Chain A
Amino acid sequence: MVSFDYERPVTLKEAMLAASREGAHPLAGGTDLLVKVRRETVSPKLLVDLKHIPELHGITQDEPTFIGATTTLNQIADSPTVLERFPVLAKAAHSVGSRQVRNRATIGGNVANASPAADTVPALMVLDAQVVLAGPGGDTTVPVCSFFTGPGKTVMRHGEIIRGFLIPEVKGTFSFDKVSRRNAVDLATASVVVFGFVEGGDVHLRMAAGAVAPTPLRLFDAERVFDEGGPDALVEVLDAADAAISPIDDIRGTAAFRRKVVRVLLRRGIQTVLSSLGGDA
């Protein structure tokens, strides 16, 4: 492991100052970052530990709901607020790693790490969540749907810190489905989230998929096809999703397998959501 310094700021101001230094890298739970540092795929000169900054931690009851970046995945999975308002996010958070990993891993870290398979991201995408970034010029917000630019890459600039996530109130039904080789401590081979809601008498869907493209994807085209054709257009919805994804072959599965899995999970998710909304597919 390349040698680095470590700082533990207790205010956001101190953290931003430290994070803007050359070679500085924010540290949250470390469950991804410390593995990368040991493998020397990331070689920071300074790790800025964000876990002791009170304003980056916790879940507010406001509207929109704010979830601090260093809130751990177990805290999210067990939070009464999240379970009541955004059960899909609780489920996605609970699907990560193991109890030990979720006790350390944070939602900000899961997003900043920008893995194509990041489990919380498809859920945040269908929730229309916004990333709140603290930077030298003040706070900015970026939709989670446009936050990622490639594997491990985001729109964040050096010196910026994820403060947390804003999630607007939603009323509807969710389904979260993830296929992996084993239940615990494995990355998703593919994951799919479907959110359905009724507006103006019509059912609308929001859908997202993980581990089937360079970044997690919100399936906007498939959503439009559903808006136009409704439940009868299920095959066309699946075709539109299939056209949007670009999976690869890796040790977890082939691209062809992932395409099939996405169709199955989406169909299942859409049917589950529609039947609980009282419609049918």
Chain B
Amino acid sequence: MEHVIHLTVNGTQVSGRVRSDRRLVDFLREDLELTGTKEGCGEGECGACTIIMNGMAVNSCLVLAVEADGSEILTVEGLARGGELDPLQEEFAERGAVQCGYCTPGMLMSAKALLSKHPSPTEEQVREAIAGNLCRCTGYKKIVEAILAAGGSGRA
């Protein structure tokens, strides 16, 4: 069964025709060509596909595209505005919080969801927010530092 869906992605209204079994991650990557969002495990374990849906971090591999009908989506492509990187992206680059980079979009989106609710989080809140994002390079220390810095509470 095909469905016509309408949603807002990175501030732009988009529509699409999707089958019931199409996942949001595939719709974003293949139909909208927003390949910043990565797929890792496909089972909600690794967090690589994290996006923000209606203000909340979710695994886009565990959401059907049709379930996202009517929702507001933010992907890593929507973080920079007017050519200006988001403070999180600035800090990730500045502090070497990126190694292979595969987990980075998901890390950024989990961090973005956290900072939207808690602009100056504690380290514990940061670690809890990214507990569902695996980094195989184990760059966690730099990632936590970058998020704290973007929240204005990092050690300079």
Chain A positions within 8 Å of B, measured between CB atoms, are 1-6, 8, 29-31, 34-35, 37-38, 47, 49, 51, 74, 97-101, 103-104, 183-185
Contact = CB atoms under 8 A, between A and B. Distances in A.
Given A100-B57, A101-B59, A6 B66 contact: yes
Interface stretch (B29-37, B42-50, B81-89, B144-152): B42-50
B1 interface: yes
Interface residues on B, range: 20 to 34
A30 B63 contact: yes
Contacts of B23: 34
Nearest to B19: A3
B112 to A, nearest CB: 12
Interface of B: 1, 3, 19-21, 23, 42-45, 47, 50, 56-59, 62-64, 66-67, 69, 110, 113, 128-129, 131-134
Contacts of A183: 131
20 contacts: A3-B19, A5-B1, A31-B44, A31-B59, A47-B20, A74-B56, A97-B132, A98-B44, A99-B57, A99-B113, A99-B129, A99-B132, A100-B44, A100-B58, A100-B132, A101-B44, A101-B59, A184-B131, A184-B132, A185-B45
Given A30-B67, A35-B44, A98 B132 contact: yes
A51 B21 CA distance: 17
Contacts of B113: 99
B59 to A, nearest CB: 5
B131 A38 contact: no
A49 B67 contact: yes
B20 A6 contact: yes
Nearest to A72: B56
A100 B66 contact: no
B38 to A, nearest CB: 14
B103 to A, nearest CB: 13
Contact of B64 (A31, A34, A74, A103): A34
Contacts of B110: 99-100
Given A97-B132, A98-B131, A1 B21 contact: yes
A35 to B, nearest CB: 5
